[in-house]
Amino acid sequence: MNEKIPALKDRLHTRALVPLLILTIVEYEVFTFSKATVAAAKQDAWLSILIGAIIGSFIVYLFIKLTARFPNMSYFQYLPIVWGKPLGFLICCLYLLFWVAFLSSIFYESLLANKMLFLPQTPTIIPLILFALSLIWLVSSGLIPVIRFFQLLLPFLAIPLLILALLFTTSVKIDRFLPVLENGLLPVLKGSYYVLGAYQGPEVLLFAAPFFMKIKQGVKSSLLAYNITIFFGWSNTVAAIGILGVQNLNESVLPGINVVNLVEFPGFPVERFGLLLTLPWLIAIYSTLAIYLYLLCSSTFQLFNLRRRTWLIFIITAIPVTIAYLLPNEAWHEQLRLYLTVVSVPIVYLLPVMTLILAVVRKKGRTT
């Protein structure tokens, strides 16, 4: 790893931010409709998502402003410049720990998807190892090949989800969203916090910025990608509430699968639409694992000044894989997910904003 920043002419156009951010942000939790959000806001969870979209979009805009101050540096390179070396190093270590926990959660979710949807009789360690080996091969190639791979995958994720969003409209019952704001605005705002916590991924901008031409012109692409992911989450949440109802949604293990199985489209030759969700789900899990494993490996080598070694990549990958395999049951996983959702807001959103404010105050980086 320790990937060399390419020459300006070899960098990616900011349009490539769209597949990068969509396939980074969309993962398991978007399809399970963040139970914490629905538990907090109940039938008003759709409104929580819209409020979260406004807040998140503004913060993504600030991310571009931050990267524009350090266009040839990744986030870990300028954190010590802005915060000072000791505190910057501790913040970097905090991100590494967060990524290990996050990767462990998603690896476990890949096991869950495989067990329930694909190969239920296969020992869980086998698909886990196959996933890990293919990911090691992919991320070892560098960030630009990963992004090119995401560009190829994007239609297979986006098109089925758009079709599902249209199909959902035939089965949603409006009365399940009434009364609006029954418990006031506070539960809705609490739900918005959980929405932001469920949308990990925008921080990838801060690490990928040096690989793009004129990153300061990436505002439109970044906001487009972020709000497309919000739309997917919003449409799935509306369908879950409008078809299952709040109580059934909270009791369901995989609400997304349950909702798809209940969708009816009279006269259509296909009766079950499960593939429209399971294929994007698998792609989303794999792509999110790929980008975060890349960040974990490359940032570890950079932070501790290590030379890239294949055996080190295997060891780093083995840490979240082992944690995922040793998680006792789904209850432990849901608790881990809840903790990640809560801490994601300060780590993913607030820390970069504070870094931007501090960089402006201390006049660090470019000012034009």
Mean pLDDT of 259-267: 63
Q: Where does the pLDDT of residue 29 fall: very low under 50, low under 70, confident under 90, or very high at 90 and above?
A: low
CA gap 165, 146 in Å, rounded: 28
Lowest-pLDDT choice from 83-97, 116-130, 313-327, 337-351: 116-130
pLDDT for res 266: 57
Instruction: Tally DSSP H helices, then E strands, for the chain.
Output: 17, 0
Q: What is the pTM of this model?
A: 0.91
The pLDDT tens digits of the residues spanning 286-306 come to 999 999 999 999 999 989 988
SS3 of residue 6 by DSSP: coil
91 vs 113, higher pLDDT: 91
**Amino acid at residue number 332:** W
> Does residue 314 have a pLDDT over 90?
yes
> Burial of 97 by CB count in 10 Å (0-12 exposed, 13-18 middle, 19+ buried)?
exposed
pLDDT band at 212 (very low <50, low <70, confident <90, very high): very high
Mean pLDDT calculated for residue range 10-30: 86
CB atoms within 10 A of CB 102: 24
In degrees, to the nearest 5, what angle opens at C-alpha 208 toward C-alphas 207 and 209? 95
Mean pLDDT of 152-170: 86
Cross-strand pairs, 12: 212
pLDDT on residue 269:
46
Q: Is the pLDDT of residue 334 over 70?
A: yes
Place of tokens 């009766």: 271
Residue 235 is predicted with a pLDDT of: 86
Longest Cα separation, the chain: 65
Whether residue 216 contacts residue 68, with contact meaning beta carbons closer than 8 Å, is answered with: yes
Mean pLDDT of 2-28: 82
Peptide bond before residue 145 is cis, with ω within 30 degrees of 0: no
| pLDDT mean across residues, the chain | 86
C-alpha–C-alpha distance, residues 340 and 297, integer Å: 20
CB 333 within 8 A of CB 339: no
Provide the 10 A C-beta neighbour count for residue 289: 25
Task: Mention every residue, 6+ apart, whose C-beta is less than 8 A from residue 177.
Answer: 43, 44, 46, 241, 242
Whether residue 278 is predicted with pLDDT greater than 80 in this model: the reply is: no
* pLDDT in the model for residue 177: 87
CB 100 within 8 A of CB 94: no
CA–CA dist 15, 298 (Å, integer): 24
* Percent of the chain residues past pLDDT 70, beyond the cut: 88
270 has a pLDDT exceeding 60: no
Q: Enter the tokens of residue 269.
A: 């030759």
What is the C-alpha radius of gyration for the chain, rounded to an integer number of angstroms?
20
d(CA 306, CA 303): 8
Superfamily of domain 8-361: Amino acid/polyamine transporter I (1.20.1740.10)
**pLDDT over threshold 60, residue 99:** yes
Average pLDDT over residues 235-249: 81
Whether the per-residue pLDDT at 267 is higher than 70: the answer is no
Q: Is pLDDT at 150 greater than 50 in this prediction?
A: yes
The encoded tokens of residue 235 equal 């449409």
Domain boundaries, given as residue ranges, for the chain: 8-361
Residue 254 banded pLDDT, cuts 50, 70, 90: low
